[in-house]
């Protein structure tokens, strides 16, 4: 009987729809300023129905963040791997990251707003996941840079620290862009980030 299959498919469609609407609402108003009723409304379900799909408000929120974050890292890695040489890969990494932030500004602002405060067990495990993903990503960058060192293109500095530096240089430009009423595109910062990461600020090396 394929009835069950269909049911499951429909269940997942509905779940996805709720998640999509929840992202919209949470992204603009943050976790605390959103009520379950609001999400129910936005997604066209009743309050009670949401509890069929998610254990509760926090679970809904953390699932949303978690899945979106996975998407972001997947994007960045895919773009990075597609480039051929080291410099191209670093450039692609920066560009994909900036592009994601540009396309998902409200979502990303949740993080600078500190909307993932750990008030419960659920939120704590989200924070841990975010941290774990962060270190996984740093590790990915690290491997890139190690390759560059081996090939004699990059200085033999501690790779983990280098990777972290690059990530946070990207973060620096992104944060400022999210905080101020953006004049130009975020992606236009790519050149600066690459330049300062590769060459530093000192004159005449």
Q: Is 164 in the site for a second copy (CB under 8 A)?
A: yes
Applying CB under 8 A, does 205 fall inside the site for a second copy? yes
Contact criterion met (CB below 8 Å) for 30 and 110: yes
24, 29, 30, 36: which one contacts DNA (CB under 7 A)?
36
Cβ atoms < 10 Å from Cβ of 44: 11
- ∠ CA 194-197-199, nearest 5°, is 95
Q: Give the span between the Cα atoms of 95 and 170, in whole angstroms.
A: 9
Is 194 in contact with 94 (CB distance < 8 Å)? yes
Of these partners, a second copy, DNA, none, which one is at the site of residue 113 (CB under 5 to 8 Å by kind)?
a second copy
The answer to whether residue 183 forms part of the interface with a second copy (CB under 8 A) is: no
* Residue 172 partner contact from DNA, a second copy, none using kind-dependent CB cut-offs of 5 to 8 Å: a second copy
**Do residues 100 and 74 lie in contact, with contact meaning Cβ atoms separated by under 8 Å?**
no
Q: Which of 25, 26, 57, 174 binds DNA (CB under 7 A)?
A: 57
State in angstroms the smallest separation of the CB of 18 from DNA: 11
Task: With CB under 8 A as the rule, give the number of residues binding a second copy.
Answer: 47
Q: Which residues of 89-113 are buried (b: 16+ CB within 10 A; e: fewer)?
A: bbbbbbbbbbbbbbebeebbbbbee
Residue 34 near DNA by CB under 7 A:
yes
- The site partner of 201 among a second copy, DNA, none (C-beta below 5 to 8 Å per kind) is a second copy
Longest Cα–Cα distance of the chain, Å, equals 74
- Name the segment binding DNA (CB under 7 A); options: 15-23, 45-53, 98-106, 173-181: 45-53
Query: What is the contact surface with DNA in residues (CB under 7 A)?
Result: 1, 3, 7, 14, 34-37, 45-49, 51-52, 56-58
């Amino acid at each position: 009987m394929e009835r069950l299959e269909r049911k499951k498919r429909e269940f997942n469609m509905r779940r996805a729809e709720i998640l999509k609407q929840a992202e919209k609402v949470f992204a603009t108003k943050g976790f605390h300023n959103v009520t379950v009723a609001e999400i129910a409304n936005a997604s066209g379900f009743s309050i009670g129905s949401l509890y069929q799909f998610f254990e509760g408000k926090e679970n809904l929120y953390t699932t949303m963040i978690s899945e979106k974050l996975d998407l972001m890292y997947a994007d960045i890695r895919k773009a990075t791997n597609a480039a051929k040489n080291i410099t191209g890969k670093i450039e692609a990494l920066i560009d994909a990251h900036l592009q994601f932030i540009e396309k998902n500004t409200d979502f990303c602002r949740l993080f600078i707003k500190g909307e993932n405060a750990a008030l419960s067990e659920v939120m704590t495990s989200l924070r841990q996941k975010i941290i774990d993903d962060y270190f996984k990503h740093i590790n990915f960058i690290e491997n890139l840079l190690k390759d560059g060192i081996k090939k004699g293109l990059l200085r033999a500095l501690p790779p983990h620290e280098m990777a972290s530096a690059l990530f946070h240089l990207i973060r620096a430009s992104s944060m400022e862009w999210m905080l101020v009423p953006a004049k130009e595109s975020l992606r236009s910062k790519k050149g600066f980030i690459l330049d300062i990461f590769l060459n530093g600020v000192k004159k005449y090396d």
